[in-house]
């Protein structure tokens, strides 16, 4: 069994490396009002005089119903009744949709995942049948594999024993694709019981192929609680069975992480998002004048700060701030060319596209643009912050506005006050309410006065690292 700390650390790494995937079971959709397998089959089981609360093998129950009714017309209607009603997205799907995860697998029939991804502005390529594999959605951000079908086509949904037994003949392409993703990506299983017979078959194939060289995946499972059982013996039995299931999943490279209550999933996903965002730094600053302290070393500082971000896997998002942006760009380009890497992995350049100051919505446009730049990041680093107007050096109001946005969005804020101007103003304000910025308290003096480049850069690294460690170590 894996620790929560390991899950957050390793899955965040997978997201940063573009190797993260999600496998969603019915539990992910239940929060949006959809039923799980047991509730789906309850009335159908009752019609053939079975009680779903006494049955573990619900696939067999579906098959029994099919046999007794000589067809699946009523099963198809039940699917339509349960999964075509309108349901809102839920917070877990909203968090996942914000993360740069480009591979989703699900056994669910509903459309909650794709709708959530679309609301997040992503283009989704949905594979719900074998025919979909030969066609690709242009410029898609995410591929969603609905390996048991889609509610729009209930007659093709995988539900009965017949469907499962013939799966490898009728949907071999899904099996092959999932095998490939399980080898290449790190999966997080959410809302899954891990008893799906088709899933077990695929995992066993992976195990036979890779033997002991399997990739580690993670599965969130709710802890077994004593209050759910009338008898102590039943509770002990369930706990023992869970331990055996956990050990069995380890054969397939799946480590279980247990949580106490369903709201813990949301907390865990928020922490993963927080860890991911800490690797994305918003660098805010402009400088028509570097001041007396930094006149000779400002450019070197900006280049070395950018180099530190590159070497430590941080991605910088920045506008084309005068006296700041050009040095960030040139430093990243040099590093990328030397390492033959991809520039988009380390730099998101967002110059302001709005020049028509006479537009009535000009201020609103600029503000919303700034929000869109800052929102995906986790850290706001502020340097300098001045501009020239009529031959006079004044504070850059745009840099200060970016600070207010970072504060509103609860970002980690690190102002290098020794660079002066708006950065100094921000640090002074923070010092007045330091209880809200406790992560900065040990470093206030350095941020206020230090001009030694190496010391400032190491301090920024330490602040981010400590904050990251706090999220990793935080228990739910």
For the annotated catalytic residues, the residue numbers are 148
> Cα–Cα distances in Å, from 403 out to 343, 371, 437?
26, 11, 14
Nearest CA among 166, 230, 178 for reference residue 202: 178
Pairing of strands 280-286, 315-318: parallel
What lies within 8 Å, CB to CB, of 94 at 6+ separation is: 116, 119, 120
What lies within 8 Å, CB to CB, of 127 at 6+ separation is: 133, 143, 144, 145, 146, 174, 177
Tokens coding 267 = 């907390």
Tokens coding 221 = 């499972």
């Amino acid at each position: 069994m894996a620790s929560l700390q390991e899950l957050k650390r390793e899955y965040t790494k997978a997201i940063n490396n573009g190797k993260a995937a999600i496998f969603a079971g019915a539990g992910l959709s239940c929060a949006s009002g959809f039923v799980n397998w047991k509730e789906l089959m309850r009335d159908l089981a009752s019609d053939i005089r079975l009680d779903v609360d006494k049955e573990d093998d619900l696939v067999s129950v579906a098959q029994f119903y099919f046999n007794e009714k000589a067809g699946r017309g009523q099963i198809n209607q039940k699917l339509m009744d349960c999964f075509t009603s309108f349901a809102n997205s839920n917070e877990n799907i909203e968090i996942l949709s914000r993360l740069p995860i480009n591979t989703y697998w699900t056994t669910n029939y509903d459309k909650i995942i794709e709708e959530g991804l679309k609301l997040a502005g992503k283009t989704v390529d949905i594979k719900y049948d074998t025919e979909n594999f030969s066609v690709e959605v242009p410029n898609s951000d995410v591929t969603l594999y609905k390996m048991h079908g889609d509610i729009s086509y209930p007659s093709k949904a995988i539900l009965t024993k017949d469907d499962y037994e013939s799966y490898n003949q009728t949907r071999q392409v899904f099996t092959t694709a999932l095998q490939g993703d399980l080898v290449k990506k790190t999966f997080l299983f959410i809302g899954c019981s891990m008893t799906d017979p088709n899933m077990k078959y695929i995992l066993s194939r992976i195990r036979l192929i890779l033997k002991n060289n399997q990739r580690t995946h993670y599965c969130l499972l709710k802890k077994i609680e004593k209050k759910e059982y009338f008898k102590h013996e039943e509770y002990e039995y369930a706990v023992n069975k869970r331990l055996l299931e956990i050990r069995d999943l380890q054969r397939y490279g799946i480590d279980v992480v247990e949580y106490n209550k369903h709201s813990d999933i949301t907390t865990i996903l928020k922490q993963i998002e927080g860890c991911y965002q800490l690797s994305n730094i918003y660098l805010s600053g402009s400088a028509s004048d570097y001041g007396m302290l930094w006149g000779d070393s400002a450019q070197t500082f900006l280049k070395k700060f950018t180099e530190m971000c590159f070497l430590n896997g941080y991605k910088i998002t920045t506008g084309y701030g005068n006296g700041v942006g050009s040095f960030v760009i040139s430093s990243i380009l040099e590093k990328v060319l030397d390492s033959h890497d991809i520039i988009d992995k380390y730099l998101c350049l967002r110059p302001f596209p709005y020049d028509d100051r006479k537009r009535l919505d000009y201020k609103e446009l600029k503000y919303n643009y700034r929000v869109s730049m800052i929102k995906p990041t986790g850290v706001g680093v502020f340097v300098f912050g001045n501009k020239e107007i009529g031959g006079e050096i004044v504070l850059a109001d745009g840099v200060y506005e970016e600070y207010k946005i970072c504060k509103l969005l609860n970002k980690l804020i690190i102002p290098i006050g020794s660079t002066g101007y708006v950065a100094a103003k921000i640090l002074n304000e923070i010092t007045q309410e330091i209880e809200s910025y406790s992560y900065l308290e040990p470093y206030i003096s350095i941020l206020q006065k230090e001009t030694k480049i190496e010391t400032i850069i190491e301090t920024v690294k330490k602040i981010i690292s400590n904050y990251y460690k706090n999220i990793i170590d935080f228990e739910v």
